[in-house]
Amino acid sequence: MSVGVLFVCLGNICRSPTAEAVFRRQVADAGLAGRVRIDSAGTGAWHVGKAPDVRAQAAARQRGYDLSALRARQVHAGDFNDFDYLLAMDRDNLAVLQRMAPAGARARLALTLDFAPTAALSEVPDPYYGGPEGFAQVLDLLEAAGTGLLEELRGRLT
């Protein structure tokens, strides 16, 4: 049995590709790489085909995550049945997913930070128009959420 997780933000060039890389490493470190399928997508289409924002790549690289091979794509209806979890970075994007969801879809829709209940925030702030500290905060939040999500998936996979 395997589990699929799709991280979703607005552009798929800052937060969700970072989430994808962070969680991929956490899953690999837990020895579950073959059991969890991880991807990311944006609700918007402006950046489709582009690599992650250079500032997101730089912040991630400082913690050993390589985002360079990732390319932005937009969420599509098939994602709601291809994945078990669609995890949005903020309430705006969660609302878009809730409106898009086909009737009877398999995926559970939630906020990514639902898996980091002790974090100070419930949404991952959009770092696009801010400075480098925003990108470091994104990494802090996503590392915390990934830890909680991994615990939930361990329960499903064992």
Catalytic residue set: 9, 15, 126
The sign of the dihedral angle between the CA atoms of 110, 42, 153, 108 is positive
Binding part of the chain for ligand 4NP, among 3-11, 28-36, 59-67, 78-86 by CB under 6 A, reads 3-11
3-state helix, strand, coil in the chain (%, to 5): 45, 15, 40
Residue 138 three-state SS: helix
The sign of the dihedral angle between the CA atoms of 32, 71, 52, 16 is negative
Q: Which helix (H) or strand (E) holds 7?
A: strand 3-9
Closest CB to ligand 4NP among 32 and 96? 96
22 near ligand 4NP, rule: CB under 6 A: no
Closest CB to ligand 4NP among 44 and 148? 44
Residue 144 three-state SS: helix
Binder among 3, 5, 6, 13 for ligand 4NP (CB under 6 A): 13
Binder among 50, 84, 109, 128 for ligand 4NP (CB under 6 A): 128
Closest to 102 in 3D by CA, of 80, 118, 117: 80
DSSP category for residue 28: H
Closest CB to ligand 4NP among 15 and 115? 15
Size of the site for ligand 4NP (CB under 6 A): 10
136 near ligand 4NP, rule: CB under 6 A: no
Residue list 27-66, contact with ligand 4NP (CB under 6 A): 46
Q: Which residues bind ligand 4NP (CB under 6 A)?
A: 9-15, 46, 126, 128
